[in-house]
Structure formats: C-alpha cells, structure tokens
Amino acid sequence: MNSEEKLELMKTMFNPKRVAILGATDQLMKIGSMVLMSTLACGYTKNVYPINPNPKYSDKKILGLDVYPSLDKCPEQVDIAAVVVPPNAVVDSIKQAIENNIRTAAIITAGFGEVKTDERQQENKDLVKIADKGGLIFVGPNSMGLYSSEDNTSPLHLGFGFMMPKPGNYSIVSQSGTMGTIFCNALQGIRYFVSSGNEASLTLEDYLEFYAQDEGTKVIGLFAEGLRAGSRFKEICLETTKKKPVVFLKTGLTKSGARAANSHTGSIAGSLDIYKSVFKQTGVIFTDQIMEFIYLMKGANFLLPLPHTNPLRAGIISGGGGFVVHLSDLCDRHGLEVVDLNTAPKGPKLIEDISEILPFYWSKNNPVDLVATGNPEVYRKVTELMLNSGCFDVLITMTNAGLADRIAKMEPDNEFGVRMKQMMMAFTGDRFKKMARDEIKISLHNPDTKVIYVSFDPRYPDEVYDQNEVLVVGGNPEIATIVLKRLQDYQNFVDTILQNKQ
C-alpha cells in the first residue's frame, strides 16, 4: 500500500464514527477493560461496540454497552477495531476485521516484532502480509493505542494509560506508550497522539506525514528509539519544518540504550552523529532530555514566532539577586544578550522610570533585582515598564504560580512553625491568585515581547497558564534559556530557506 492510500485511510482512523473493541472485558484493570473505559472516559460520544465471544457475556452489558460475540454481529459498519486479545488470536482478529470491511485497527497486544524468536517473527510477517492483502492499516502491535480530538466534541482515546488529555493542537508520535502518556499529561492540549509500538504497518514517518498535512496540528512531537525509513523521514521533515516545528526526543544514544531499544520495539537506534546531521539539515529541534522536550513543545506553541533580532535581547527581573545572576550566566551561555541599560538606546529612560518605583539602592541596570520588595504592585509595575520600554525581545522572570499551594503543604514541627505558617497563609490569602492572573494578563497584553516565567516548583504550574498560552518553566530555570536558543535556531533555519527562495 502506498503512502497516499495510507494517508486516506488514516483520516478514518483518526476520526471514526463507530469503534469496536475486540477483547473488551468487565474485569477491572485488565487491558480490555481499561481500553473500553478510556474510550468512554475521555469523552467519545459515538458508537462503541465491545466484542467478546465468551458465553458469559451473552445478552450482557459492559459499562452499559451491549456485548457482541463477533464483529459480524455488530448492528452497523465499524470504522476502527481495537485489538486487545491474546497474541495467538491477533491474526484471526485482523482477518475478521477485513472480512467485515474494516480497514483500520489499533493492535494493543504485544508479542510480535519485539520478540526475537523465529515463531514470533513469522507471526509478525503473517500479520503484515494479511493486513496488506486486505487493505488494512494498523497501529502497533505492542501499542498503548491512539488519541484524537479531530472532532473536539467527541475526543477518542482508544487505548490505555493513566491519562485524560484535552483537545488542543499538539500532535505526538511516541514509540514508547509510557513516555507518550507522560507527554500527554504534561501538555494536555492534544490533537493527535499515537503509541506507534512496533510499527509493523504504520510507521513514525506515516504519522509524521499525516500530522504535517493537518491544519489543526500546530506543533509535532516525536519520541523515537530509531527510524524505519531515514530517507523518507528527511524528505518529510524538509517540507514540514517550513510550516510547523518538529521537536524530536531521541533515545537509544548509547550502546546500552541501543540494545534496550532493539529489545523494546525492534528499532535500530543508529548513530547520534547521523541523526544530528539530519536534524540540522531539516530544521528539526533536537533534544535528549524529557523536560526539555516538554518545554520545547510548549515554547514552540506559545512563543513562536520570536522577534527577529539576533541575538535576542533579554531582560531579567526577580525579587532576589542570586537568581538574576544565575539567569544572566545562562543567557550568556546560550547566546542571548543580557541588555545593558546604560548603553541601550532607550535604557537610561527605563532606569529613570524604574527608579521612581524601587528604593534608591536597586542595581540601576538589567538584570533588575527588586531588592526583596514585598509589594506585588511594584513587581507588576516594573514588569510593565520593562515590557513597554522597547529594550527587550524576551523577558525572563519568576512566577508566583503554586506558591500558596506550597505554603499550604508545609508541615510545621512546633507551635512556632504553626504560627509562622498561619501568618504566611494570612499574608498570601488570595494575593497570589491575583498575581497569577496579573502575570497572564501582562503576557497577553504584550505579545511583541515574549515572557517566560520560571517556577522552582518541579510540578507543572496551574493549567490556566497553559490554557492562555503563557509559558511557565517549572523546576529547572536552565531550560528557559535552552528553549529560547533552540527555537531561535529553528526560526533562523526557516528564515534562511525563505530568503533563498526569494
């Protein structure tokens, strides 16, 4: 089957009106139960048909749905079949799907290409051959399924894993189901997600091409141990990155990692130097760190396009001096210019304006140390002055997101600790919620200068920041400057291509 035919079938796969789950069960925490529960729990409102030939389900319901012994007993044509049966029943399930004119499937079951025995390798070949002959494409095997919010009134999570994404514009392919679940939970706003598994039928390159053509996808994320078709991957990326960013988290980089990849999904990891060369030639944004991947995805969504100044002019503001010194080092290290207000064209005027608000002993330059000023209005006013000054392309500052929650979780050891916690809680009250709202408002009202908030809380910040497309980097401030550098490299790549075309 050629790529055009696959792409056409994938339209049905990602937006089915009728779903069947082969191996559905009422035994909680079994995969067949979890797939059915996920399908219903994430908001799919169209027709779902549990399939199980066990006589105990005759004339019975699972989660309120009638159970059918086989696909041919379903009352209407099914668009996609999720296969959650034992390995020795998978091939027959695919045959049954083809006989019932079903052309897409998600095979959750493991035990095929990743198992290095002659028997299982032959079974994998038989599965592919039968599917190809019957004109059927499938996700997996050894997959945790797929998610689609193409119809955002009826999002589909046809898989398992502890996640409940919300509709959005991130599209992800992950060769690891577990990692994919982590990404979906972190990013939340998901357009498409596929746990590609062994990629016996559809490969990462197929999904990438589908995402590239989809107008609802704004940022593409890939987690891969290896590629099946390197040349095709390069060709697709060359065209895709001109229109939307592609972020690639590559694993299997060491000898041990490559061995683990081969036993996990059957992937051949390949040389890191080769991958880096391809990424550089195609504009793919590379990382080998999980948290970098998450914030690169968010940054690509929330911050692009960046101002076209090179290097980017950075402003830094904080309540304490040590933090701004550290951020200044990070900006220099990653090619950002920490603006000197004494020499910048509009810098002296900004110094005068800030001096009317801060005590006389502030540093009178960028970075701006608020010298532990406790007044939130001062923070807001100084931030607005810096954003409106025309001196900066980006502003990096601390956030109050989650601070009240951290205080609430303190566990005092004695009566003085209790009194101190009570005092801090009384001081904060609703103050920090208001400050969070102010941070979002400031960012949205000043789109020309990009704002990145840094939180020392390693947990993800309040969802309201993400919902307003405001970037908060949690736990690790170093990532903020890495994100800016990688995104500017990507933007420069795209700009160069466009200039060469003119």
**In a shared domain, residues 448 and 380:** yes
Q: Are residues 249 and 375 in the same domain?
A: no
pLDDT cut 90: percent of the chain above it = 72
One DSSP character per residue, 293-330 reads: HHHHHHHHHHTPSPP--SSPEEEEEESSHHHHHHHHHH
Q: What are phi and psi of 302, to 5 degrees?
A: -90, -30
Domain boundary among 243, 274, 300: 300
- Same-domain check for residues 273 and 360: no
Eight-class DSSP state of 71: G
Q: 47, 18 in Cβ contact below 8 A?
A: yes
DSSP 169: E
Under DSSP, the state recorded for 479 is H
pLDDT given for residue 456 in this prediction: 76
On whether residue 502 sits in a domain, the answer given is no
Query: What are the structure tokens assigned to 162, written together?
Result: 């502890």
Cβ–Cβ under 8 Å, residues 159 and 106:
yes
Kindly report which listed range (209-213, 287-291, 319-323, 356-360) carries the lowest average pLDDT score: 319-323
Position 264 pLDDT exceeds 50: no
Q: What are the structure tokens assigned to 289, written together?
A: 């760190």
Helices (H) and strands (E) in the chain, counts: 18, 20
Tokens of 215: 């107008």
For position 459, what pLDDT does the model report? 66
Label each residue of 220-285 as H, E or C: EEEEECCCCCHHHHHHHHHHHCCCCCEEEEECCCCHHHHHHHHHHCCCCCCCHHHHHHHHHHHCCE
Is residue 60 domain-resident? Answer: yes
Tell me how many degrees the CA angle 176-81-55 measures, rounded to the nearest 5: 115
Taking 50 as the threshold, does the pLDDT of residue 48 lie above it? Answer: yes
Number of domains in the chain: 2
Do 310 and 296 sit in the same domain of this protein?
Answer: no
- 115-124, 144-153, 476-485, range with the lowest pLDDT: 115-124
Average pLDDT (97-105) is: 98
Cα–Cα distances in angstroms (integers) from residue 302 to residues 242, 298, 474, 499, in the given order: 18, 6, 15, 24
**Do 371 and 455 fall into the same domain?**
yes
pTM across the whole model: 0.92
Q: pLDDT tens digits, residue range 139-157?
A: 999 999 999 999 999 999 9
Residues in CB range of 365: below 8 A, 6 or more apart: 340, 341, 342, 351
Q: Which residue in the block uniquely carries the two structure tokens 């502003």? A: 395
Is 100 found in the same domain as 85?
yes
pLDDT at 502: 64
Average pLDDT, the chain: 91
**Do 283 and 309 fall into the same domain?**
no
Confidence of residue 257 (pLDDT cuts 50, 70, 90): low
Please report whether residue 481 resides in a domain: yes
406 located within any domain: yes
50 contacts: CB under 8 Å, gap ≥ 6? 20, 21, 24, 36, 57, 62, 63, 65, 66, 67, 68
Report which of 447, 446, 476, 444 is spatially closest to residue 460, judged by C-alpha positions.
476
User: Residue 261 — pLDDT band, cuts 50, 70, 90?
Assistant: low
Say if 499 falls within a structural domain: no
CA dihedral of residues 119, 120, 122, 124 (deg, nearest 10): 170
Q: Which residues contact 381 (CB under 8 A, 6 or more apart)?
A: 357
Percent of the chain topping pLDDT 70: 94
191 and 334 in a common domain: no
Burial of 335-345, coded b for 16+ CB within 10 Å and e otherwise, reads ebbbbebeebe
Highest mean pLDDT among 90-94, 110-114, 431-435, 440-444: 90-94
Last residue of a domain, one of 300, 329, 361: 300
Q: Is 500 domain-assigned?
A: no
Q: Are residues 430 and 408 in the same domain?
A: yes
Residue 92: pLDDT over 50: yes
pLDDT(117) > 90: no
Lookup: tokens for 265? 């999904």
137 and 104 Cβ atoms separated by less than 8 Å: yes
- What mean pLDDT do residues 236-264 have? 78
With a cut of 70, say whether residue 67 has pLDDT above it: yes
Q: Residue 175: its pLDDT value, please?
A: 95
pLDDT digits (tens, 9 = 90+) for 195-243: 999 999 999 999 999 999 999 999 999 999 888 888 999 999 999 999 9
Full residue range of the structural domain in which residue 462 is found: 305-493
Checking if the pLDDT of 321 tops 90, the result is no
Domain boundary among 276, 300, 324: 300
Total length of the chain = 502
What CATH number does the domain containing 162 carry? Answer: 3.40.50.261
Residues 267 and 161 in one domain: yes
| Domain assignment present for 498 | no
Kindly state the average pLDDT of the residues 19-24: 98
Residue 431 has pLDDT above 90, yes or no: no
Q: Does any domain span residue 157?
A: yes
Residue 311 and residue 182 share a domain: no
Residues 309 and 296 in one domain: no
pLDDT surpasses 60 at 44: yes
The greatest distance separating any two alpha carbons of the chain, rounded to the nearest whole angstrom, comes to 83
